[in-house]
Amino acid sequence: MGQIILKDVTKSFGGVEVIKPLNLEIEDGEFVVFVGPSGCGKSTLLRLIAGLEDVTSGQILIDGQDATATPPARRKLAMVFQSYALYPHMTVAKNIAFPLRMAKMDRKTIDAKVRQAAATLNLTDYLHRRPGQLSGGQRQRVAIGRAIVREPAAFLFDEPLSNLDAALRVNMRLEISQLHNDLETTMIYVTHDQVEAMTMADKIVVLSAGQIEQVGSPLDLYRNPRNKFVAGFIGSPK
């Protein structure tokens, strides 16, 4: 589970088409990176997939089902926000448990799932702390933990590391890649950072002004950029 297909998807805000008819297939288990300059539509595309915005036209299929009319909570996709989206007054355990409590899951099941997520993310010793007592990287892991407990078909990350310092960013990049190896769940990761794209992706989607410039593996794009824009963005010598 975790195949996502976009068919002729467009999105307009006030008559301005910020996503042009766009087609894309994401396979189950793939790590896909959306990369492109600021304002090109990366966040909008992710929000359309998550259901936080409605498409203007076209279709989004999640595991073969038309998701266009499915509300965000029922899409089984987990959006990982930046770490500052944690609840400061709640413990780590309560922050991770939050979506499960919203879903009215029973206490025992919640505790078990929180413990398992904490173990996966090396947070077991921090469950009773509050976000303010954690490092930036630990807070980011709590945000990921809150997504993991929902057992989503796919994780959606929107520039999750942009407010971390450079050293921590490298660390978290490795942790997210490791998590992808462990969970084998589809991940869509938005960034404007070429290095993140090149090191993390199975497949890179290069966007410019609401359109796909090129889709391919990091090596494909590096060796055969379709145009100067892609070459410039990927840092290809061509």
Which residues of the shown chain bind ligand ADP in the complex (CB under 6 A)? Answer: 13, 18, 36, 38-44
Task: Give CA–CA dist 224/121, Å, rounded.
Answer: 37
At 111, list the tokens.
Answer: 């505790």
Beta carbon nearer to ligand ADP, 44 or 140: 44
Residue closer to Mg ion by CB (options 114, 207) is 207
Give min distance, CB of 68 to Mg ion, in A.
Answer: 22
Nearer to ligand ADP, 41 or 225 (CB): 41
CB of 115 to Mg ion, least distance (A): 34
Per-residue burial over 15-40, b if 16 or more Cβ lie within 10 Å, else e, is eebbbeebebebeebbbbbbbbeeeb
Nearest approach in angstroms of CB 212 to ligand ADP is 13
Q: Tell whether residue 43 is a contact of Mg ion (CB under 5 A).
A: yes
- In the block, tokens 């998550």 appear at 50
Task: Work out what residue 44 binds among ligand ADP, Mg ion, none; the CB cut-off runs from 5 to 8 Å by kind.
Answer: ligand ADP
| Of 19 and 172, CB closest to ligand ADP | 19
**Residue matched to tokens 């509050």:** 130
Q: Cβ neighbours of residue 18 under 8 Å, at least 6 residues apart?
A: 11, 12, 41, 44, 210
Number of shown-chain residues binding Mg ion (CB under 5 A): 1
Residue in 74, 71, 82, 19 with CA at minimum distance from that of residue 45: 19
Which residues are near Mg ion by CB under 5 A? Answer: 43
